[in-house]
Chains A and B, each alone.
Chain A
Amino acid sequence: MSIFKDKKYLRVNVDTVPDDSLWMKCKACGELIFKRRVRENNNVCPSCGEYFFLTVEERIEMLVDEDSFDNISKSIEASDPLEFADLKLYKDRVEQAQGVTGLPDAIVVGRATVHAIPVILGVMDFRFIGGSMGSVMGEQICHGMETAIHDRSPFILVSSSGGARLQEGLFSLMQMAKTTAVRAKLAEAGLPFISIMTYPTSGGVQASIASLGDVIIAERGAMIGFAGRRVIQYTIAQELPANYQTDQFAFEHGAIDRVVQRAQMREELASLLGFFVEVA
């Protein structure tokens, strides 16, 4: 498999502080690179091929027809049902994440077209509290699938999430059940669900909605797995194989259908959708 390289983990380059400089340093190869070139290269390092993290806007731009995206997200945000405070107040974490990303929560859903095929697309943003799924994300995913049923469109979900939003306690765990319940309705309606797993797709998101795609595609460089390294080391202190929870690992063990390079993802989606949708 030539698209796989022997790498352990791919780092996520997440800028939490807006940075106006023209140059950046690749955390994988250490090369100083011109940001615009990285941008033009789908946020892949022109020097070593390292995948950099994509914001929601960048991901949407990469994936769907130009200017076709219409944000249909419900106008909601986290309400802090447990009044949760760890080292920080949950309220403050949310506010800070909203400031950094300009998003109400870790997901955006909308109508779009891919090679003129209408779809409903949900995209997660890892910068927003690790892309964690709380009540808001659960509701938006359900809203996306219900709109897909209404429009009779395929549903595409791009996951980038560390799992459940711990600060919402059992409410966040229950989003696994909630999204699964609506996913069942999508299946009953006979509409395809394409799940795209990117870096990282883990925990409660991987153990529910993301793993329930009719077709599951991993972006090259994705991390896919249930329990993070920290949890494993904490619980059972087991030695882990070098390619553990990589796209390659998931593919070899039959957890996903295909692994696709970032630059080819739109073409891939278009040809896959073509099997389900009659193109006018």
Chain B
Amino acid sequence: MSDERTLDLLETKIEELRQLDSIDGIDLSGEIAKLETKLTSLRMELYSNLSDWERVKIARNPKRPYSLDYIESMFEGFYELHGDRMIGDDRALLTGLAQFKGRTVMLVAQQKGRSTEENQERFFGMTRPQGYRKAVRAMKMAERFGFPVITFVDTPGAYPGVESEEANIGGAIAESLLTMCQLKTPILSVVIGEGGSGGALAIALADRVLMLENAVYSVITPEGAAAILWKEKGKSAEAAAALNLTAEHLSELGLIDAVIAEPLGGAHKDFDQTIQALSGSLIGFLEDLESLDIEKLLSTRFERYRAIGRFRELEAPREEPLTEEPLTEETLSVEAARDADE
């Protein structure tokens, strides 16, 4: 099966032929049309049979649109807010105000870099404690003014270095989770590329969680899982498949709310189409959430997370009788989730 690189190469060749065609007046249109048909069918074949590991590679493809690309095309007048007021300004996580279809929203977005220079500035998209603290600051501000929060998730994970630990990265993530649990304004999250573990969840505890078709979201990278569980880095493809990290799997498991379709070849092949699909989905969800009063919004958010988890009754009978518990709404929904599992 061809890979993305071969297809890109073919695409370049077609482009070259087309230029030759126009310059020299030689008629190559028949050849071009043939190659284009071939390209489309190869791409169809590739993208209808993607393994989960190939999906991970697409999610990490540097040609993929990053948060700022979405922000510039879907929102108006992005006004960036800098700094956590404590340590500094994390360039791997951006916050700011913008207009979205007639309302002010607060954006919280993880941003990767494309050039080496930009990657150094943005720590390869790995968020540091000052990033999460800036996010908390921005979200609390959004709450004060009733602005909905929209977050864009795209990170390999939180930055694991010494300076992160010194500034208590774990505590910063926990604080962000707690803030989002209690935030009295709608929160929407979109995983646009890599949803890397706690570093991603820290800004993705939301009323609705969306994923682009080729995005991935996982408790650990396939490479990490391969190293820890298979004791062999070469087992990343197996690990990727076992982790159920694609949008399709996570939607089937009921862990996300919507999968945003991407054009054939990925979001970067037809960015306008991607924008339209995402924008349409976001506004639909946002209007739903805006119609709820705050109490209902928060109780629904609570129930959503309280119910997540799959387990079963212990097989062996316990020695002591269990204390009888009244069936609350939460335990019922947990049981519903479990029944669906069985």
Complex CA gap A268/B160 in Å reads 32
* Stretch among B223-231, B264-272, B275-283, B286-294 lining the A interface: B223-231
Contact indicator B178/A79 (Cβ below 8 Å): no
| Interfacial chain A residues near B306, Cβ < 8 Å | 142, 178, 181-182
CB A252 to nearest CB in B, in angstroms, measures 9
| Interfacial chain A residues near B238, Cβ < 8 Å | 86
* Stretch among A22-30, A48-56, A225-233, A271-279 lining the B interface: A225-233
Given contact pairs A81-B341, A169-B219, A231 touches B312 in the complex (Cβ within 8 A): no
| Interfacial chain A residues near B243, Cβ < 8 Å | 82, 166, 169-170
CB A164 to nearest CB in B, in angstroms, measures 5
Contact indicator A174/B305 (Cβ below 8 Å): yes
Q: What is the count of residue pairs linking A and B with beta-carbon distances less than 8 angstroms?
A: 209
In the complex, which residues 198-237 of chain B have their Cβ closer than 8 Å to any Cβ of chain A?
198, 201-202, 205, 217-220, 223-225, 227-231
Contact indicator A174/B308 (Cβ below 8 Å): yes
Contact indicator B311/A77 (Cβ below 8 Å): yes
Contact indicator A234/B224 (Cβ below 8 Å): yes
Contact indicator A245/B305 (Cβ below 8 Å): no
| Interfacial chain A residues near B323, Cβ < 8 Å | 72
| Interfacial chain B residues near A224, Cβ < 8 Å | 170
Complex CA gap A203/B242 in Å reads 20
Q: Is B166 an interface residue (CB 8 A)?
A: yes
Complex CA gap A171/B220 in Å reads 12
Given contact pairs A82-B242, A86-B230, A238-B162, A255 touches B171 in the complex (Cβ within 8 A): yes
Q: Is B177 an interface residue (CB 8 A)?
A: yes
> Interface residues of B, CB < 8 Å — how many?
65
| Interfacial chain A residues near B192, Cβ < 8 Å | none
Q: Is A17 an interface residue (CB 8 A)?
A: no
Contact indicator B178/A177 (Cβ below 8 Å): no
| Interfacial chain A residues near B177, Cβ < 8 Å | 176-177, 180, 208
> Interface residues of A, CB < 8 Å — how many?
71
Interface centre among A74, A79, A87, A207 (most CB of B within 10 A): A207
CB A48 to nearest CB in B, in angstroms, measures 27
Render A173-199 as a binary contact track against B, CB cut-off 8 A, 1 for contact. 111111011111100000000000000
Given contact pairs A226-B158, A236-B160, A170 touches B250 in the complex (Cβ within 8 A): yes
Q: Is B174 an interface residue (CB 8 A)?
A: yes
Q: Is B165 an interface residue (CB 8 A)?
A: yes
User: Of A75, A204, A241, which one neighbours B162 at CB under 8 angstroms?
Assistant: A241
Contact indicator A139/B334 (Cβ below 8 Å): yes
Q: Is A84 an interface residue (CB 8 A)?
A: yes
| Interfacial chain A residues near B161, Cβ < 8 Å | 232, 236, 238
Q: Is B253 an interface residue (CB 8 A)?
A: yes
Complex CA gap A226/B162 in Å reads 10
Binding site for B on A (CB under 8 A): 71-72, 74-79, 81-82, 84-87, 104, 134-136, 138-139, 142, 164, 166-178, 180-185, 202-204, 206-212, 224-227, 230-232, 234-236, 238, 240-241, 244-245, 249-250, 253-255
Contacts A/B (CB < 8 Å), 17 sampled? A74-B322, A76-B313, A78-B311, A79-B310, A81-B341, A104-B314, A136-B309, A138-B308, A139-B309, A170-B218, A175-B308, A180-B177, A181-B301, A236-B160, A238-B161, A250-B168, A255-B171
Q: Which 4 A-B pairs have the closest CB atoms?
A: A227-B160, A135-B309, A86-B229, A81-B310
Q: A134-B309, A136-B311, A225-B170 are in contact. List 15 more A-B contacts (CB 8 A).
A: A77-B313, A77-B314, A77-B315, A86-B242, A138-B309, A164-B197, A166-B243, A170-B244, A177-B205, A178-B308, A202-B170, A226-B158, A227-B164, A231-B224, A235-B157
